[in-house]
Amino acid sequence: MSDQQEFPDYDLNDYADPENAESPSSNTGLALPGQNLPDKVYIIPIHNRPFFPAQVLPVIVNEDPWAETLELVSKSDHHSLALFFMDTPPEDPRHFDTSSLPLYGTLVKVHHASRENGKLQFVAQGLTRVRIKTWLKHHRPPYLVEVEYPHQPSEPTDEVKAYGMALINAIKELLPLNPLYSEELKNYLNRFSPNDPSPLTDFAAALTSATGNELQEVLDCVPMLKRMEKVLPMLRKEVEVARLQKELSAEVNRKIGEHQREFFLKEQLKVIQQELGLTKDDRSADVEQFEQRLQGKVLPAQAQKRIDEELNKLSILETGSPEYAVTRNYLDWATAVPWGVYGEDKLDLKHARKVLDKHHAGLDDIKSRILEFLAVGAYKGEVAGSIVLLVGPPGVGKTSVGKSIAESLGRPFYRFSVGGMRDEAEIKGHRRTYIGALPGKLVQALKDVEVMNPVIMLDEIDKMGQSFQGDPASALLETLDPEQNVEFLDHYLDLRLDLSKVLFVCTANTLDSIPGPLLDRMEVIRLSGYITEEKVAIAKRHLWPKQLEKAGVAKNSLTISDGALRALIDGYAREAGVRQLEKQLGKLVRKAVVKLLDEPDAVIKIGNKDLESSLGMPVFRNEQVLSGTGVITGLAWTSMGGATLPIEATRIHTLNRGFKLTGQLGEVMKESAEIAYSYISSNLKSFGGDPKFFDEAFVHLHVPEGATPKDGPSAGVTMASALLSLARNQPPKKGVAMTGELTLTGHVLPIGGVREKVIAARRQKIHELILPEPNRGSFEELPDYLKEGMTVHFAKRFADVAKVLF
């Protein structure tokens, strides 16, 4: 095995100067190419890359088996041997396939042979190409061969000279790009002449990083012009690679240099500024930032004192200590609160009315209630903190009413949902000793809105949870009590905040789950459902344009008729709010968009006939108002709005006395049924029935839709009327609905949800109602469009009801 290695210690000029060459017969002299070349030489195969005639390089070979070869060479007159390139080294260098050697090798003169650690090293000076003529000894090293030397023309042509100049220029380009080529190499290059192109071409090939096989092709190519044509592209490629490499490393160095320079300059600037007192360290910068934040704010004395103490503490703490981070976070929050900063209210009732009308169709009583509230503020000069609770079924616009209040006042609006909240720390904050402690939602709201008098909406207040972590509903008591929230205490800040100027708007679907003490602190405004006329107006003004905009459809490309809107509301969206209506309109728009994709220029008009094909069969049918003996239509209130509730009574047999109830009734309704049964049984004679009827009859009272749970104190009158109709065997007057609670002595008690019940009756096209006398005021307060066309009888006692029915 053998290898080549470059040793920069050798002065290559010692071997490259033909002027110093002695005769080849001398042991120490150098043989010139073409002079006294030996016929028989020993050969050594090399494996790294071919050796060229123009090279002078150290060669290292294994002592075993090449020591004997080198000894024989040193004893010869010419001190020469032939180096042949083998691409893959043989397993045993003593026995290799002689046919695997290439056509040409290089005759080299051996200098300075030495031995160390099982290796032989010598400097080889390339003389000329050599070709094996005959193998004289080829069984084992030393290998002896008879050789011949290729003839080369002495006079170069102009073309060859031109190539020679191109090669010299390329090598000169390469030298500054690759620092591995030393000054001596430049001197060495100056010795070459374009008039002697063979060594120049070989030297140029040797400079490249081409593969061994590519270089061997150059060595095998004797004709001068062909060889130069092979070498020039190889050399140009080397120049390009070296140039690219230099550019890349320069770019990398530039980037690294820039970063380092920037870093050093910044550090220097810091030191200079600190020396001149122009900037402060991190701690001083933090203290200054917090002090700047407090400028223009009016802090209570207690808060000012506490913040000053914390600032002093911050200025002596080490920036790396955990206590520094805790104190810094505390000051970050405490200075972000807008102490004493109040926004100016727009107390213009005309503007407020305009905003409310723009955002809401219907809800006239709610709008007038809000305008009264604003009028008081305008009269007084400020809207003091008030707690308004908007109660109503889903989709009637409670949240958007809150936004409209904020807009009409010109105050910032902040909304957060308390639905499902179980931790009172969400309201009042965590103690700051805990990891990850934060102030409560109210402090976060004040920080966001940057004034102390925003409109804050607490959504879904009826859906708050309770857990082992505390009861947030109780934590809200202090927040929403006008007497206490002047000094609201947040656990994190541990400072008193004045929330008395905040306008709180809460929303709920039902009052049942709101704790009594919390409800007591709020002013309840009820939003009942919409009637069909209002829903049509809302759909035309708000929902339909919103859906078109959402789908990116032009108004003139897609229209819906008023009749279709009414049919849609009656058949598919009969709930109290308008959320279901919005979904169905969205569905219609989506179906139309599919058609518009196929025909972009089409104009689609949606009429009554198109609803079933787009939305399927109507969900709601026109309910048959049940009628007949023992059947009465009642009115009920649910969290989704008002509903009609038929009640049926029938006699099963006369074998024994009995009373049976069905229809998933709650405790209150069961009691109402028992009272109605007892009252009618004891007073049947006075109402014109057979006094013995209930003594012999087994009566069954049923409230239809048995799968739906029903409860509430407003069905006593309806149940008693059903039982009376059964006992008299006389059907009641048609088209009458009623509501009211009954006592054992026949008094009719007031009920709630009059507006919702009236809307439910209108929806069912019932225009005659029986209401309790104490509810007369509630009915009179209803807007005229709800009362229009309604005949209402007010009953003090059950006898008044019986008069109307029979």
Binding residues are 392-399
CB 595 within 8 Å of CB 602: yes
Type of residue found at 528: S
Q: What is the DSSP code string of 111-135?
A: EEEEEETTEEEEEEEEEEEEEEEEE
Alpha-carbon distance values, 239 to 170, 192, 244, 245, 246 (Å):
7, 20, 9, 10, 10
Cα 483 to the chain's mean position, in Å?
Answer: 43
CB 11 within 8 Å of CB 58: no
SS3 state at 782: coil
Mark the binding-site residues for ATP, compressed into ranges. 392-399
Q: Which one, of 347, 306, 336, lies nearest residue 451 by Cα?
A: 336
Phi, psi (rounded to 5 degrees) for 457: -100, 125
Type of residue found at 80: S
Which entry of 714, 721, 733, 778 is annotated as an active-site residue?
714
In the block, tokens 């550019």 appear at 247
Alpha-carbon distance values, 720 to 565, 725, 739, 768 (Å):
40, 9, 11, 18
Which entry of 109, 501, 535, 757 is annotated as an active-site residue?
757
Listed in sequence order, the residues at least 6 apart from 793 whose beta carbon sits closer than 8 Å to its beta carbon are: 768, 769, 770, 771, 800, 801, 804
β-bridge pairing 641-653 and 631-638: antiparallel
Q: Which two tokens stand for residue 781?
A: 């307060």
Q: What is the DSSP code string of 731-768?
A: PPPTTEEE--EE-TT-BEEP-S-HHHHHHHHHHTT--E
SS3 state at 45: strand
Q: Which one, of 579, 627, 653, 666, lies nearest residue 766 by Cα?
A: 627
Q: How many CA atoms lie within 13 A of 660 on its CB side?
A: 11
Helix H or strand E encompassing 506: strand 503-508
Q: Is 757 a catalytic residue?
A: yes
Task: Detail the DSSP E strand segments found in 561-665.
Answer: 604-606, 631-638, 641-653, 658-662
Type of residue found at 373: F
Within a 10 A sphere around the Cβ of 88, how many other Cβ atoms?
8
Active site residues: 714, 757
